[in-house]
Amino acid sequence: MTDPTTLPAPAAALAEVKARLAAAAREAGRNPASVHLIAVTKTFGPETILPVLEAGHRLFGENRVQEAKAKWPDLRARYPDIELHLIGPLQSNKTREAVALFDAIHTVDRPKIAKAIADEQQRQGKRLKLFIEVNTGEEPQKAGIPPKETAAFLAHCRDDLGLDIAGLMCIPPVEEEPAVHFAFLAKLAGDLGLAELSMGMSGDFETASELGATYVRVGSAIFGSR
């Protein structure tokens, strides 16, 4: 095995995050392979991302379409097996670019966006892995479907629009205990028969992993503060 002390900083941090993530999953009796680590690269340039690619990591997340478009086509040309997820809010006028660029979108949060994605997928002959963002804290200013409306929105996305909804995503309120929100999201996904759970960031990915996350979105713990 490579000695982590000889790796560039982001690659060493990646190895540590992976080890902590796997340990947390095992602790909860889960298979560590069922928790995918999305390395969140927003604000970071290719020079910071490359060591992580060279270390073999291929799953990345960005929160803005324009920023991703400026950065990832070049990196993809060098590493064709990169998988890129949109984890930030999507505006309908960016849907065409988003469907072209990303493999998954974690922020399907309203009927208008769901319809725009469906139309673009049809146009481009592409199907993305999609997550419904749930506003688990029911915060008025925050994106996401209210928990009580999630079942009806899921049915609309699937039955009316033919979208591949794989699971649910949440961003807990900053001042609250994330575990409560993760457990709530896991229960909701279970009730709806959805297998994937996108939850957990740098400060709480171990908790998320223990509570059933299948995708954690980790930025600063790998790449440093923004």
Ligand X SMILES: *Cc1c(COP(=O)(O)O)cnc(C)c1O
Return residues touching ligand X (CB under 6 A). Answer: 40, 42, 63, 87-88, 171, 201-202, 217-221
Task: Supply the DSSP symbol for 145.
Answer: B
Residue 169 φ then ψ, to 5°? -130, 145
Output the smallest distance, CB 14 to ligand X, in A.
12
Question: Residue 167, class by beta-carbon neighbours within 10 Å (0-12 exposed, 13-18 middle, 19+ buried)?
Answer: buried
Whether the CB-CB separation of 51 and 74 falls below 8 Å is answered with no
| Helical (H) or strand (E) element with 61 | strand 59-62
Task: Supply the DSSP symbol for 106.
Answer: E
Cα(110)–Cα(32) distance, integer angstroms: 32
Output the smallest distance, CB 88 to ligand X, in A.
5
Q: Which two tokens stand for residue 116?
A: 């725009």
User: Among all residues, whose Cβ is closest to ligand X?
Assistant: 219
Q: Please, what's the b/e burial string for 82-115 (b: 16 or more CB within 10 A of its CB; e: otherwise)?
A: bebbbbbebeeebbeebbebbebbbbbbbeebbb
- CB within 8 Å of 160: residues ≥ 6 apart: none
Output the smallest distance, CB 87 to ligand X, in A.
4
Output the smallest distance, CB 22 to ligand X, in A.
17
Output the smallest distance, CB 160 to ligand X, in A.
27
Comparing CB distances to ligand X, the nearer of 37 and 53 is 37
Cα(97)–Cα(102) distance, integer angstroms: 8
Cross-strand pairs, 122: none
Comparing CB distances to ligand X, the nearer of 153 and 223 is 223
Comparing CB distances to ligand X, the nearer of 63 and 95 is 63
Comparing CB distances to ligand X, the nearer of 87 and 104 is 87
Output the smallest distance, CB 171 to ligand X, in A.
6
Comparing CB distances to ligand X, the nearer of 161 and 200 is 200
